[in-house]
Chain A
Amino acid sequence: MADAETTAKTKKKADRTGFEPHIIGFLCNWCTYAGADLAGTSRIGYPTNIKAVRVPCSGRVDAMYVINALKNGADGVLVSGCHPGDCHYNQGNYYARRRFMILREIFSAMGINPERLQMSWCSAAEGAKWAQIVAQVTEKIRELGPFEGI
Chain B
Amino acid sequence: MEQLIQEAKKLLEENKVDVVIGYRSSPLPPFTRPAFIRRPEDCEQLVFNCGSVYNLTRYLIGLGEKPAIVVKGCEQRGLVVLEQENMLPRDSYLLIGVGCSGQVDERKLREGGFDRLPEQLSDELMADKCLYCDQHNTPDADIFVGDEVESVEPRTERYAGLDEFFAQDYEELYHHWTEVFSRCIRCYACRNICPLCYCEQCISYVNMPQWLPRSVADNNNYLFHMRRVLCMAGRCIDCGECERACPVDIPLRTLYKRIAQKIEGFFYGYRAGNNREQLPPLQDFNKDDSADFIL
Q: Which residues from chain A sit less than 8 Å from chain B, CB to CB? A: 63-64, 67-68, 71, 84-85, 91, 94-95, 97-99, 101-106, 108-114, 118-121, 133, 136-137, 149-150
Contact = CB atoms under 8 A, between A and B. Distances in A.
Contact of A149 (B174, B227, B255, B266): B174
Given A110-B177, A110-B255, A64 B211 contact: yes
A110 B226 contact: yes
Interface string B159-174: 0000000100011111
Contacts of B174: 110-112, 149
B294 interface: yes
A136 B263 CA distance: 28
Contacts of B172: 111
Contacts of B258: 105, 109
B223 A109 contact: no
B285 A111 contact: no
16 contacts: A97-B285, A97-B289, A101-B289, A105-B262, A109-B166, A109-B255, A109-B259, A111-B172, A114-B293, A119-B294, A119-B295, A121-B295, A133-B295, A137-B295, A149-B174, A149-B219
Interface of B: 166, 170-177, 203, 211, 219, 222-223, 226-227, 229-230, 233-234, 255, 258-259, 262-263, 266-267, 281-282, 284-287, 289-291, 293-295
A71 B213 CA distance: 11
A111 B295 contact: no
A115 to B, nearest CB: 9
Contacts of B267: 98
B29 to A, nearest CB: 38
